[in-house]
Amino acid sequence: MKNKVDYLIVGQGLAGTFLAFQLMQRGKTVLIVDKGLTYSSSRVAAGVINPIVLRRFTITWRAKEFLSYNPDFYHALDQFLGKQYHFDIPLKKLISSQDEMDFWEHRYAKDGVSDFIHRELTDASDAIQPAEPLKIGLVKQASWLNISALLFDFRKKMISTNSLLEDIFDFSELKENSYKNCEFNNIVFCEGAQGKYNPLFKDLPFSLNKGQLITIKNTSLPADSILKKKVFILPTEENLFKIGATYSWKWDTSSEEAAHKIEADKTTLLKSHLEDMTTADYELVNVETGIRPSIKDRRPVIGRHSTRRNTFIFNGMGTRGCFMAPLLTEEFIEHIENDKPLDSEVNINRF
Ligand SMILES: Cc1cc2nc3c(=O)[nH]c(=O)nc-3n(C[C@H](O)[C@H](O)[C@H](O)COP(=O)(O)OP(=O)(O)OC[C@H]3O[C@@H](n4cnc5c(N)ncnc54)[C@H](O)[C@@H]3O)c2cc1C
């Protein structure tokens, strides 16, 4: 383990990983402490990157900025790890009623949505084996991040350079400029949902959200696009597809195991949404749950501790970490290193 670093980072989910990567790109030294929680949000996340809310056809917050920043960022990360993790992939919205067709046309003409969807609807291909007659609406600029593989490989690389300590962060060992045997200039907490219990950043209005998704095996569904109706069908590996995800605001929080328990009714719901899209045969191969680190106002929470000048939080990525975190990481580093103001919507000062 390194004994002197510029940055100590607690948590190696997507937030901690992107932060460590960008800091190292700037020549900073880092040590990550991460206990490798199996149920961290990032390990479970599907990695779909989509600039549009497909229920209401609204453009997501700062979509254009994130879309223009992400390709170079993900390319640099691919280069660093020597493998491709980020892929452009068509996202196809399945449309089954005249009302939905009219809504597509109506929204196309409004609020700049035409930058993000194609106007023309096409017929669904036979490969989808639609459960009912379908039209397809195409979303522009969607992509997929193979996030679990990315985190796994990044972790391996950090361990190999003594830059990741696999442990639970012990707050009783934290001093002003050191943790155990390691001195640091700055410490950043990227703990995802566990941030809710961080004694240094108490009372932040976390509004955690539990998600469940299933993985199915199928040999006929299209492997070259993401399909979306009430849920998405995302091709991940050969003949494997992730179907998800659910959103729950209430669950048993009495223990870690209880919180992450697989809920049978959610599995049934996901299967029924899947069967609403396609009549293709499938085998259920896996069910996963994770807790999304969301904040009440649906914006990340980023910034400096009120009294500890070298202590920061980078959290609250909610449902869209893969989309927002790359640029937010750069803005956060600019804030710490060069005093650039943070976007007021993410700044911890708003609380
Ligand atoms: C079912 C589901 C599907 C999702 N799908 C998508 C999607 O398609 N696209 C998208 O953009 N987002 C998706 N998300 C959201 C995405 O997962 C989050 O936005 C993002 O991963 C949050 O990353 P994070 O690093 O902030 O937190 P986390 O991923 O939770 O990471 C926190 C890390 O901190 C570590 N940690 C915490 N406390 C401690 C401690 N005390 N000591 C040591 N280590 C600690 C944990 O081990 C973990 O590695 C999904 C989430 C879920 C649950």
Q: What are 182-223's pLDDT values in tens digits?
A: 999 999 999 999 999 999 999 899 999 999 999 999 999 999
Expressed as residue numbers, the domain containing 106 is 91-141+209-292
Pocket test for ligand 1, best of 194, 241, 248, 314 (most atoms within 8 A of CB): 194
**Alpha-carbon distance 3 to 20, whole Å?**
17
Ligand 1 atom with the smallest distance to the CA of 290 is 53
**Alpha-carbon distance 192 to 14, whole Å?**
9
In a domain, 59, yes or no: no
Tell me the CA–centroid distance for residue 315 and ligand 1, in Å. Answer: 9
Tell me the CA–centroid distance for residue 325 and ligand 1, in Å. Answer: 11
Tell me the CA–centroid distance for residue 293 and ligand 1, in Å. Answer: 7
Instruction: Find the length of the chain.
Output: 351
In a domain, 57, yes or no: no
In this structure, are strands 143-145 and 58-59 parallel, antiparallel, or unpaired? unpaired
Report residue 33 as tokens. Answer: 């402490």
- pTM, entire model: 0.97
Domain termination site, one of 292, 313, 337? 292
Contacts of 180 (CB under 8 A, 6+ apart): 1, 170, 173
* Residue 237 sits in the same domain as residue 279: yes
pLDDT tens sequence across 217-273:
999 999 999 999 999 999 999 999 999 999 999 988 888 888 889 999 999 999 999
* Residue 221 sits in the same domain as residue 124: yes
**Alpha-carbon distance 338 to 334, whole Å?**
5
Tell me the CA–centroid distance for residue 242 and ligand 1, in Å. Answer: 17
Q: What are the distances in angstroms from CA 280 to CA 124, 239, 274, 277?
A: 14, 12, 9, 9
Residue type, 50: N
pLDDT tens sequence across 265-321:
999 999 999 999 999 999 999 999 999 999 999 999 999 999 999 999 999 999 999
* Residue 154 sits in the same domain as residue 286: no
The CATH number that applies at residue 187 is: 3.50.50.60
What dihedral do alpha carbons 20, 195, 204, 317 form, nearest 10°?
50
Report residue 117 as tokens. Answer: 């969807």
| Percent share of the chain, pLDDT over 90 | 87
Residue with CA at minimum distance from ligand 1 atom 35: 11
Q: Count Cβ atoms below 10 Å from residue 255 Cβ, excluding itself.
A: 9
- According to DSSP, residue 59 is labeled E
* Residue 173 sits in the same domain as residue 112: no
